Amino acid sequence: MFLEIIRPLRGFAFIIIVFGTSIFGNYIVTLFLPLITIFNYHRQWRSLMDRAITFWMLIPLFFLHFIFRVKVKAIGDEIRLNEPSILIINHRTRLDWFYFWLVLWRMNPWLMTTNRIALKELLSYIPGAGFGMQGLLYLFLKRDFEIDKIRITKLIDYYADMDIPYQILIFPEGTDKTINTSNSSNRYADKEGLPRLKYLIYPRTAGFVHLVQKMRQRNYLISVYDITIAYPCNNIIQNETEMLFFGKISSQVHYAIRRFEQNELPKSDEDLNKWLNKLWIEKEQRNNLKVNRIWIKDNWKQIIIKIFGFCFWCSVVPIWIFHLRFIIFVQFGFIYLLINYLFIYGIYGGLDKLIICNWEKYKKRKMEKELSILFVNYYL
């Protein structure tokens, strides 16, 4: 009875703390925007933001570990930090990607700085946190392939230009598993002569195929990881609403991870399509998995970092709000944040679009300058 009463408080605490700290985090991000909008220090800014925003992500990690008490178990191959790769995972609930942060942290905390996630575009507009995800250049999809393939192309070009090995987490199914999506999957299976799936839904292959081929084109793909997620004991919480407003969350999440070299994947679009469908049929057979082996638990350093990060953000934000009442410099900083919001969303439509636009302009100017120098040298 007592647990039922206090459980919603976990969700409300999560909302308040994540929102408050993320707004302050947005303020910090905007302070450094001149590095790319004026001074063209794009790679330096990218490296700084990857670390700064990941430091804020210690807040949700702290909640998952200490407040919600989520336990993750995994078997298989560990994800390599120094390799640009694609992580493909079945989409059982709308929180699958959120739990996976615990796996990345446990493997290697630095993976949190290089992990990128393909999410639906609506999540980019979450107040506070959405701005941070835009700053990390998450791949926000509209679920319209003609639009999404342009976004994928631009982001892969940017990732490769930054010369940072990112691991891109995608959900080929495109949506979480529900009764309606399962029925659609069954109709597709019947039409294509494929077996029906009980635990999964068939993937939409176009986005995956385009992503693989684009990364190959940029020589920016070393490996692909097949990740199977399962929820033992049927402790499935389907969406974020249950977590935020009722404090409910899956208590255990199991993962099986398998690594493929990129040259193990077929070369043609059609064969990649078949390969992914075949992989999903294999995943279906593994989706009853119950993991007995857990990766090495967080060591004391990782635990201390989580606690320190949580305490840092929860202490600095009240101090900032307190001084906002009477210190004019802090007040001007807040006004600066609001002006940046208006500018970024009014002119560009989001921080991610501003970042890409400024990088493309810089590349174009640099190329024109190099061509003009070559032209002058040729005729002199």
Q: pLDDT tens for residues 29-61? A: 999 999 999 999 999 999 999 999 999 999 999
Return the pLDDT at 372.
86
235: helix, strand or coil: coil
255: helix, strand or coil: strand
Distance CA 28, CA 221 (A): 32
Which of 281-290, 321-330, 352-361 has the weakest average pLDDT? 281-290
pLDDT tens digits, residue range 289-328?
555 555 556 788 999 999 999 999 999 999 999 999 999 9
pLDDT tens digits, residue range 170-220?
999 999 999 999 999 999 999 999 999 988 999 999 999 999 999 999 999
Q: What is the arithmetic mean of pLDDT over 85-100?
A: 95
Which residues fall within 8 angstroms of residue 303, CB to CB, at 6 or more apart? none
Tokens describing residue 66: 């200490």
Q: What is the arithmetic mean of pLDDT over 234-247?
A: 89
Query: Distances from the Cα of 290 to the Cαs of 74, 228, 232, in angstroms?
Result: 9, 11, 7
Q: What is the arithmetic mean of pLDDT over 128-154?
A: 96
